[in-house]
Amino acid sequence: MGLTAGSLYKAFKDKRAIFIAALDRYIQSREVELARHLESAQTGREKVLATLRCYGDVSHDVEGRRGCLVLGGLTDIDTFDAKLAHRFRQALSRIEHLFAGFIELGVQDESLPNHLDVEMSARYLLCMVEGMRVLGKRGANAAEIEGIVLQAMRSLD
């Protein structure tokens, strides 16, 4: 059988520490996955698309229903644990800043139009990503998510 409850306390101080470790591991694995998606992306536009697809990929079928630890944490914990709340917020801000960087790059390399409001667009894309994860949790298929990704890309034209 699996790991027993008590055994975990050998390795971790308390429940909260277990959660934080799981969260850090989760966030890091997402970073790795994102890096993988970005490998083949050249232009700013391609990087934005790759990032959207990276989150889209975990927003459908089984993995979609499994949900996101950051999103889940943000909804529960937020209220009563300031330290953790900060971690969740930061995880979202990370995505937002990545988008902002890619958009700036896209404007420079002319893969994206120069009339874009960078901060606004980045926030909008973050909104999409989180929305997709919610839809994934509700139950979405790959085609539905891909449709949303493409529509999101069109908002950058």
Binding partner of residue 76 among DNA, a copy of itself, none, CB under 5 to 8 Å per kind?
a copy of itself
Spatial neighbors of 51 by CB under 8 A, at least 6 apart, are 34, 37, 38, 95, 98, 99, 102, 125, 129
- x-or-dash string of contact with a copy of itself, 56-85, rule CB under 8 A: ---------x-x---xx-xxx-x-------
Distant-in-sequence, close-in-space partners of 60: CB < 8 Å, separation ≥ 6 = 136, 140, 141, 142, 144, 145
Do residues 128 and 53 lie in contact, with contact meaning Cβ atoms separated by under 8 Å? no
Binding residues for DNA (CB under 7 A):
1-7, 9-11, 14-16
Per rule CB under 8 A, is residue 154 in the interface with a copy of itself? yes
Q: How far is the CB of 73 from DNA (least distance, A)?
A: 14
Per CB under 8 A, contacts with a copy of itself among 11-50 are: none
Angstrom CA distances, 124 to 9, 121, 153, stand at 41, 5, 11
Q: Residue numbers of the site for a copy of itself (CB under 8 A)? A: 65, 67, 71-72, 74-76, 78, 88-89, 92, 117, 120-121, 123-124, 126-135, 137-139, 144, 147-148, 151-152, 154-155
